[in-house]
Structure 1
Amino acid sequence: MPGPSLLDDPLHAGIAWSRYWRLMRWMSALTILCVILALGFLYYMHGLVSIHMYIAAAGGVGFALLLTSALMGLVFMSSGTGHDESIDDPISKGISPDD
């Protein structure tokens, strides 16, 4: 039987989710800064080429940074609340570290 997680308690879950969304707000601001810097670097290196290149670069940099931030934020939240330890893993129970 899996043990209880702090995310099962509404108070702790609310605190964890508020920390997650605070992290995402900061990372969104950092992402906008990185997109502006990337577009500035592209303009400096290549000049005014095509608007499609700048749109694709902004979308690619923005998407990659926000997706990475969201997934890492969920990993931090899961680990920080003890949700990772509350699972029941029948496969790992039979494995010895000496094998």
Structure 2
Amino acid sequence: MTRHSPLDDPQTAAHAWARYRWLMKLMFGITSVSVVIAMAFLYWRNGFVSIHLYIATALGVTAAMMLMAALMGLVFLSSGTGHDEAIEDRLGDEARDAWDKLS
């Protein structure tokens, strides 16, 4: 039987998801500043080459940073709420011993 996850409680889940949204908004702000710095650096080094270079760079930097923020935010959400401890470890010490032998 699986254990109760703290995210099953609506109040805890609402708090955790509000913190996640705050983290994503913060990271979007940092990403926006990073994109502006990258655009300024490209213009300083190359001048105006092609609009496609600037569009691709802006989209690439934005996509990479926001994907990283989303995935790391989910890791923080899962770990910070205690959701990770609610899993059922079916293999128990057997899997841990096998992993220790490999490393």
TM-score normalized by the length of structure 1: 0.93
Unaligned runs of 5+ in 2: none
Q: Which residue of 1 aligns with 2:28?
A: 28
Unaligned runs of 5+ in 1: none
Q: Which moved more, 1:33-42 or 1:83-92?
A: 83-92
Partner of 1:5: 5
Q: Which residue of 1 aligns with 2:17?
A: 17
Tell me the residue number matched to 1:67. Answer: 67
Map 1:29-68 → 2, pairs under 5 A: 29-68=29-68
Identity %: 52
Match of 1:78 in 2: 78
Q: Distance in 2 between matches of 1:4 and 1:38?
A: 46
Determine which structure has the larger helix proportion and give its number.
2
1:12-33 per-position Cα deviation (integer Å, ceiling 9, x unaligned)? 0000000000011111011100
Aligned residue for 2:60, secondary structure, equals: helix
**How many aligned positions are there?**
99
TM-score, normalised relative to structure 2: 0.89
- RMSD value, Cα: 1.4
Q: Which moved more, 1:89-98 or 1:12-21?
A: 89-98
